[in-house]
Amino acid sequence: MADDQDSIVEQSDVDSSNECVVDAKPDRSSFVSSFLNRKKKNGSARSVRTSRTRVPTYQYSMDFEKVGKCIIINNKNFDKVTGMDVRNGTDKDAEALFKCFRNLGFDVVVYNDCSCDKMKELLKRASEEDHSKSACFACILLSHGEENLIYGKDGVTPIKDLTAHFRGDRCKTLLEKPKLFFIQACRGTELDDGIQADSGPINDTDANPRYKIPVEADFLFAYSTVPGYYSWRNPGKGSWFVQALCSILDEHGKDLEIMQILTRVNDRVARHFESQSEDPRFHEKKQIPCVVSMLTKELYFSP
């Protein structure tokens, strides 16, 4: 099954002329192994604004000169050796994300068709910048993928090799600040059939001003799908995950906490998208994003 063989449409807006594809190609294990070995609505009738008591002690400070930098890596075209097809529709994603994160106050930079080494270089360089005047950092990866791997135009690289540059022991100016990674890519080749449904207190030792922070703390990873599964993309509208993410951020990005936002993204993708395909193997499939959080406080993009 190749990318261009799958027909997908948004469940609530069927358009037979707009076929969707997945951000992976199955049966690539031999290539992956050899490469590595070598090297504003929420879908309801009305928008309901929810209030939430903010407690400064448990909230990341946004009282900085800048919100922060946002890097978007948009990989559309791939070298023939990878076996990866063109990711039509990813430019829609990149454009929507650029506008969305810029509106949140980020300084956004987009990089297209990056090699694995280029991705590593970009993020290493970003981690070495002075973020002392920034509240946080964001990175968005749009590409093909495997579980724990992301594709550059020339092959695959572990996601960890990109994100590890921002660990607390390597990027001191982002210590105790949120590092956000949004990843639109497949994480395997499983398909989700779906199922029909009816409709703390601080102790004395913590008071010591000299304390350690885990080097892996304050990261958040928002994946477009759960481990092992495909991630769907529409060439005409963009990926399901990015469509939902931008929609919720545009509507609630400045008033909801990040986990509330991403929970609504999960709901939007889960309920409002479903595949339509002439091939019964890929017909009426579903998708659910996945959030992995090591954040230690609540994150609001507004002060």
Kindly list the catalytic residues: 144, 186
Is 3:185 a contact under the CB 8 Å cutoff? Answer: no
Q: Phi first, then psi: give them for residue 300, nearest 5 degrees.
A: -115, 135
What is the distance between the alpha carbons of residues 224 and 212, in angstroms, rounded to a whole number? 32
User: What is the rounded distance in angstroms from the CA atom of residue 299 to the CA atom of residue 302?
Assistant: 9
Ranges of beta strands (E only) in the chain are 8-10, 21-22, 66-74, 106-112, 134-142, 145-146, 149-152, 155-158, 179-184, 219-223, 232-234, 238-239, 273-275, 290-293
Sign of CA dihedral 119, 79, 24, 98: positive
φ, ψ for residue 251 (rounded to 5)?
Answer: -85, -40
User: Cα 62 to chain center, whole Å?
Assistant: 22
Closest to 139 in 3D by CA, of 115, 118, 111, 113: 111
Output the CA angle 60-293-197, nearest 5 degrees. Answer: 125
DSSP letter string, 151-182: EETTEEEEHHHHHGGGSTTT-GGGTTS-EEEE
Tokens at 14, concatenated: 């069927």
Other CB atoms within 10 A of residue 187 CB: 25
